[in-house]
Amino acid sequence: MAELKIYNSLTRQKEVFVPITPGYAGMYVCGPTVYSDVHLGNCRTFISFDVIFRYLKYLGYRVRYVRNITDAGHLEGDRDEGDDKFSKKARLEQVEPMEIVQKYTIGFHQVMKLFNNLPPNIEPAATGHILEQIEMIKHILKNGYAYEVDGTVYFDVEKYDKEKPYGVLTNRKLEELLEGTRDLGGQDEKKGRLDFALWIKARPEHLMQWPSPWGMGFPGWHIECSAMSEKYLGKKFDIHGGGMDLAATHHTNEIAQSEACYNVNPANYWIHTNMLTVNGARMSKSAGNGFLPGELFSGDHPLLEKAYSPMTVRFFMLQTHYRSTLDFSNEALQAAEKGLKRLWEAFRNLDRLYRQSDQFPAVASDSETENRCLEWIAGFDASMNDDFNTAKVLANMFELAPVINGLKGGQLSRDKISKATLELLYRQFNTYLTDVLGLTEDKDVDNGRLDKVLQLLVEIRKEARQRKDFSMSDKIRNELQQQGIILKDEKGGGVSWSIE
Ligand code: AMP
Ligand code: ZN
């Protein structure tokens, strides 16, 4: 197997990926909080991990990819206070909290599909794993790293830090972290400023609550990922991922919980994706600067100059390495749209050349072109092995495009590269474009043009009928039908069409 290097946030280094079980990779990624639509920033993170999932599979690993659904336990306040976001929304919309969960989970899946993200192997929901979370909290209490106050259970960060560094993931000392937090208020039940809730006592009006050894309540947000990753991937697994914004709190707390419970950091490699920004500010639900994918696909947003297809957006994201920030702009998306078109055009030309591969020699006449092509092709794997550098893979594809187009158009003689290299180029280009990068050709990009052409054909057919030239009008209808385009005569004399 090729040597894959992953930048591990835990050690702040690129490390060779050595799986716990040879040939198998377990990966857990923090999924969406389903009380509202996912925005494009969330999508960037899920697209990044989709490519990582795809690449691990390409390398031949059997992958178990677990991505959770957070459907309970997210409070409005940052100090384990305030209303649960699901309950608040449910009250606002006068529905059951699980109706909110269902609505946004379905929406999330639709968006993932539009972006051509593969579904994870397991998608566990927090509300389906209350028992596992309670068991884990009991264990942490038994080990002495948590305490209960009036039905709420807190993790004791300062006690834990005496034995293991709490800020290990972000390389911060406890003193620094303490400096950055507010003093406890007089009526606070917590012992320490950094303590966080594992279980939260529910007020009677709270809509989502479960019985526990500490009374009616609901789990804190962080415990769900610890409990569910352990259940489906074991106490120690290979990769844990999420957006960079999760490292300082959510993932730091996950590590503390697993260490306190099982004496182990749950993952060998911690991968964090960088943020999608708008005018330099992080796109987030709370900041209200989030584009919804639907707004992007329809162009219906004051900041958008036009609509962009899901594949344009996916491509735009993959042109930047996942650990760099990516700023949203119309110019960048329009450039991506053009770039992606050029890539598909090159691929279509390559496809035609591949079908004529017998015209290529066994030995290339020009070793320079041949070797350059081989280097660019080898660069696909080399770039992905270098911490999943999709930006470099795409740059190599753009280097190859003029060679492919030249061979197809005749500007470059076909004896310049060998048949074997052409076939390798075809296989790798195809595999990378569709399987590894997960791009599909946008059929809808040309829908506007197709509409105009169909309109024209409908006009011609109408004129033919007026002339009583029925053989012409039937011909148009039948030929279109063969292409899967169905014309339908409407009652008022208009004609509509549908594409099968
Ligand atoms: P949430 O639904 O807010 O819990 O976020 C789901 C995932 O999206 C998490 O992994 C976040 O880290 C990630 N995320 C949130 N905002 C952004 C952003 N602006 N850019 C990239 N990823 C983000
Ligand atoms: Zn999580």
At 444 the pLDDT is: 53
Is the pLDDT at 434 greater than 80? The verdict is: yes
Is the pLDDT at 442 greater than 80? The verdict is: no
Angle at 117 between CA 399 and CA 31, to 5 degrees: 125
**Ligand 2 centroid to residue 272 C-alpha, Å:** 12
Query: Cβ–Cβ contacts within 10 Å for residue 489, how many?
Result: 13
Q: What spatial distance separates the first Cα and last Cα of the chain, rounded to whole Å?
A: 43
Domain range 293-436, CATH class: mainly alpha
Residue with the bigger pLDDT between 181 and 165: it is 165
Indicate whether residue 45 lines ligand 1 (CB < 6 A).
yes
Fold topology of 18-273: Rossmann fold (3.40.50)
DSSP for 217-266, written as a single string: EEE-HHHHHHHHHHHHH-SSEEEEEEEGGGIIIIIHHHHHHHHHHHSS-S
Query: Residue with structure tokens 């011909």?
Result: 475
Beta bridge partners of 495: 489
Indicate whether residue 289 lines ligand 1 (CB < 6 A).
no
Which tokens sit at 256? 């503390």
The string of pLDDT tens digits covering residues 55-90 is 999 999 999 999 999 998 766 655 556 667 888 888
φ, ψ at 191 (rounded to 5°): -80, -40
Residue with the bigger pLDDT between 362 and 205: it is 362
Q: Is the separation of the CB atoms in 231 and 114 below 8 Å?
A: no
φ, ψ at 407 (rounded to 5°): -65, -40
The string of pLDDT tens digits covering residues 9-40 is 999 999 999 999 999 999 999 999 999 999 99
Which tokens sit at 379? 């660069």
The string of pLDDT tens digits covering residues 465-485 is 999 999 999 999 988 888 878
At 447 the pLDDT is: 54
- Ligand 1 atom with least separation from CA of 275: 20
Is the pLDDT at 322 greater than 70? The verdict is: yes
Give the span between the Cα atoms of 146 and 222, in whole angstroms.
Answer: 14
Which tokens sit at 118? 């593969």
Is the pLDDT at 226 greater than 80? The verdict is: yes
Closest residue to atom 7 of ligand 1, CA basis: 42
Is the pLDDT at 488 greater than 70? The verdict is: yes
**Ligand 2 centroid to residue 120 C-alpha, Å:** 15
Indicate whether residue 282 lines ligand 1 (CB < 6 A).
yes
**Ligand 1 centroid to residue 41 C-alpha, Å:** 6
User: In this structure, are strands 146-149 and 152-155 parallel, antiparallel, or unpaired?
Assistant: antiparallel
- Ligand 1 atom with least separation from CA of 32: 2
Is the pLDDT at 310 greater than 80? The verdict is: yes
Of the pLDDT bands very low, low, confident and very high (cuts 50, 70, 90), residue 455 is confident
**Ligand 2 centroid to residue 291 C-alpha, Å:** 23
φ, ψ at 291 (rounded to 5°): -80, 140
- Cα within 13 Å of Cα(350), Cβ side: 25
Query: Cβ–Cβ contacts within 10 Å for residue 285, how many?
Result: 16
- Ligand 1 atom with least separation from CA of 38: 2
Give the span between the Cα atoms of 470 and 28, in whole angstroms.
Answer: 62
Indicate whether residue 249 lines ligand 1 (CB < 6 A).
no
Helices (H) and strands (E) in the chain, counts: 16, 15
Indicate whether residue 74 lines ligand 1 (CB < 6 A).
no
Give the span between the Cα atoms of 108 and 69, in whole angstroms.
Answer: 10
Closest residue to atom 17 of ligand 1, CA basis: 41
Is the pLDDT at 54 greater than 80? The verdict is: yes
At 180 the pLDDT is: 78
Of the pLDDT bands very low, low, confident and very high (cuts 50, 70, 90), residue 104 is very high
- Of 275, 249, 224, nearest to 43 (Cα)? 275
Give the span between the Cα atoms of 317 and 394, in whole angstroms.
Answer: 11
At 443 the pLDDT is: 67
φ, ψ at 270 (rounded to 5°): -105, 120
- Ligand 1 atom with least separation from CA of 246: 12
Closest residue to atom 12 of ligand 1, CA basis: 243
Angle at 117 between CA 1 and CA 327, to 5 degrees: 100
**Ligand 2 centroid to residue 268 C-alpha, Å:** 16
At 366 the pLDDT is: 87
DSSP 8-state class, residue 25 = E
DSSP-derived 3-state class of residue 110:
helix
- Ligand 1 atom with least separation from CA of 276: 20
The CA–CA distances, whole Å, from 391 to 45, 80, 98, 437 equal 15, 40, 40, 11
User: What residues does the ion ligand 2 have nearby, CB within 5 Å?
Assistant: 30, 225
The string of pLDDT tens digits covering residues 110-158 is 999 999 999 999 999 999 999 999 999 999 999 999 999 999 999 999 9
Query: Residue with structure tokens 């610890």?
Result: 226
Q: Is the separation of the CB atoms in 58 and 435 below 8 Å?
A: yes
Is the pLDDT at 492 greater than 70? The verdict is: no
DSSP 8-state class, residue 357 = G
Ligand 1 binding pocket mutation candidate from 42, 89, 313 (most atoms within 8 A of CB): 42
Q: Is the separation of the CB atoms in 197 and 154 below 8 Å?
A: yes
Indicate whether residue 39 lines ligand 1 (CB < 6 A).
no
Q: Is the separation of the CB atoms in 41 and 283 below 8 Å?
A: yes
Q: Is the separation of the CB atoms in 25 and 19 below 8 Å?
A: yes
At 84 the pLDDT is: 77
Q: Domain map of the chain by residue range? A: 18-273, 293-436, 447-499
Of the pLDDT bands very low, low, confident and very high (cuts 50, 70, 90), residue 463 is very high
- Of 87, 2, 77, nearest to 379 (Cα)? 2
- Ligand 1 atom with least separation from CA of 29: 10
Average pLDDT in the chain = 92
- Ligand 1 atom with least separation from CA of 285: 3
